[in-house]
Amino acid sequence: MFLTGSNGVMGRAAMTELVGAGHEVVGLVRRAGAAAIVEAHGATPFYGDVFDPASLREGMAGCAAVINFATRIPIGANAYRPGSLTAVNRLRFEGAGVVVEAAAEVGVQRFVQQSLSFIYQDRGDEWIDETTPVDVTHVTEALVVAEEHARRIEDVGGTAVCLRYGLIVGDDRNTRYTMRRARKRRPFALGEPDGWMHAIHPDDIGTSVVSAMTAPSGHYNVGAAPLTRQEYADHVASAVGRERGDFLADWVVDLGGDKMELLTRSQRVSSELFAERTGWKPRRPELTVEWFPTDD
């Protein structure tokens, strides 16, 4: 297995589960620090770049599957800054295409692309499944394009699996940032308190990648049972010793424009299709206070 984004939170989770399932994993890295992380997870580091086709072809040679988890998500106040999505958008608009093209050239037959369930429309209390229309805006367009890139592996007879994850909640930078705000009694939650949201623990990102090795081509929602935004806010608050989480004022959210609007949508997302087709079951089926790190 060839894995991009190997030293990130998703990549580390994927390596843990893939290696544990008996797969040999090659993790794409650019620096020695990332290589050390890959080695510590039982995988083999390979120096290269998602924008360098030659290095990708060399690293992928002999691999049965490619997992493209290369992302660069802005955290906290950085998300409000102009151009905050430039780096991650390039990885999706351009990088995903380079990666899948290299995979096709060396004969890889399975391609797994990370995506997000945030791309669906706001549907209030209605359930969202894979037939629900996505809302293509200048913010979500990069995700849609990355999924389209992945499907190019089908042109050479391969299988393309796009995993639409919910909000990552666990030992990651965004969760820790949110917890710090809650501890300081600052508002942090987005959207309407009775709106729905989709979340996933990093452990289940790892298990989903193992299950994706047997999934038929398609895009799949992957996450725990949906919960209300108030429930999420209260879990964050409980994790730092408070009773109730506070929501950001509408005018603050408006400053972030479409980037922040994406995170306020009511999305009651079902992951049943992925479970039905692969047998995947989340180890963390419902978000609880135990998801949160205790050493922040």
> Where along the chain do its domains lie?
2-168+199-223+269-284
CATH architecture of 2-168+199-223+269-284: 3-Layer(aba) Sandwich (3.40)
Lowest mean pLDDT among 82-91, 94-103, 261-270: 82-91
Does residue 134 surpass a pLDDT of 80? yes
Handedness of CA 103, 105, 106, 109 (dihedral sign): positive
Are 7 and 29 in contact by the 8 Å Cβ rule? The answer is yes
Q: For 155-161, what is the mean pLDDT?
A: 97
The answer to whether 67 and 58 are in contact (CB under 8 A) is no
Q: In a 3-state reduction of DSSP, which class is residue 182?
A: helix
Question: Three-state SS string across 221-284, please?
Answer: EECCCCEEHHHHHHHHHHHCCCCCCCECCHHHHHHCHHHHHCCCCCCEECCHHHHHHHCCCCCC
- Average pLDDT of the chain to the nearest whole number: 95
In this model, does residue 74 exceed pLDDT 90? no
Q: Please name which of 120, 125, 242, 100 lies closest in space to residue 178, comparing C-alpha atoms.
A: 242
Q: How far is CA 202 from the centre of its chain?
A: 9
**CA–CA gap between residue 124 and residue 137 (Å, rounded):** 19
Give the pLDDT of residue 183. 96
- How confident is the model over 4-30, as a mean pLDDT? 97
At residue 245, the pLDDT reads 94
Q: What is the pLDDT of residue 100?
A: 98
Q: According to the model, what pLDDT value does residue 296 have?
A: 58
Residue 6 CA, chain-centre distance (Å), reads 13
What pLDDT does residue 254 have?
82
Report whether pLDDT(82) > 80.
no
More confident call, 137 vs 146:
146
Strands (E), 38-140: 44-47, 65-68, 110-116, 127-128
**What is the pTM (predicted TM-score) of this model?**
0.95
Whether 243 and 154 have beta carbons less than 8 Å apart is answered as no
